[in-house]
Amino acid sequence: MIAALGALSACAGQPQQYAPPTQSSKTVPAIYQAREDDGKEIKAINPAYLVERNRRQIVPYHGPEAVGTIVIDPYARFLYYITAPGKAERYGVAVGREGKGFAGTAEIKRKQEYPSWTPTQNMIKEDPDLYGPLKDGLPGGLDNPLGARALYLYKNGKDTYYRIHGTMDPSSIGRATSAGCIRLFNQDIIDLFNKVPLDTPVKVRNREESLEMEGPVVQLHSGYVVSAYNQVAINADEEAYKAGRIPDQSKVEQEQHQASVALAEQVGGSGENARSSVDCSYDGTGTCSDIGTMNN
């Protein structure tokens, strides 16, 4: 019922409705099939969203980081988990504006299954129609903006307010979002969550490092990025946009916001009893300005 609320947290951002990408799989790989998790049914990923850049896969890796490191490239929209010298498992990610607000090294100091979420006072102030009805929060679950799992990055013992988490909006993976940190398909965040221990080192690339390692990328009208040298994909996307097969994203965002406000009013207060520990939510300014909550 609350799909339109897909990523409302400071590490989540509103989901969008997109035209299906032109390059998609015909079948759903086993790793993206439906599954049961802690009594919850995680739906299979729509094959339309499983473009090649989004699929979890083993790839060559030539960066300087050590085995066991997570490397996040918010510009190319990849997350790498280095599994052996010269080799990594690559995940497609969605990136919000907060996903580019931190660069450098950190460590995973907290792991949470089905975290609850509460908007900050700053978020409520900026958009009272949307966040006001949700001031008491949303309980953890598949209808929660943070999805099935969350990994929390700390630097020098302090929370960076940078999160790697799941999503209730699989259509967003591979794209930019209006707000948020780094999100993965729920199947992928569960996989990563199970593989990485606490204290796993994380490297978040800046733009210069991304250009050096991945080369320049171009964002298509569809919202995906491709190599700036992939002229075939760029031309096909431009033709589809001119033909009206890809909607105007500004109108889509406006319609989605209106739908989210209506649904927020329906579910307002549902997270009232879900809170159990205090945490701070990143407000996009680099500071912990307001109190949010996550359950343990």
Residues classed as catalytic: 165, 181
Residue in this structure with the two tokens 């460590």, named with its chain if needed: 107
Bridge-based pairing of strands 149-155 and 278-282 is: unpaired
Burial class (CB in 10 A: 0-12, 13-18, 19+), 143: middle
- CA–CA separation, 147 and 7 (whole Å): 9
Reference 9, options 176, 154, 122; nearest CA is: 122
CA atoms within 13 A on the CB side of 106: 23
Q: Residue length, the chain?
A: 296
Residue 103 one-letter amino acid: A
- CA–CA separation, 163 and 182 (whole Å): 6
Residue in this structure with the two tokens 């099939």, named with its chain if needed: 33
At a CB cut-off of 8 Å and minimum separation 6, what does 232 contact?
none
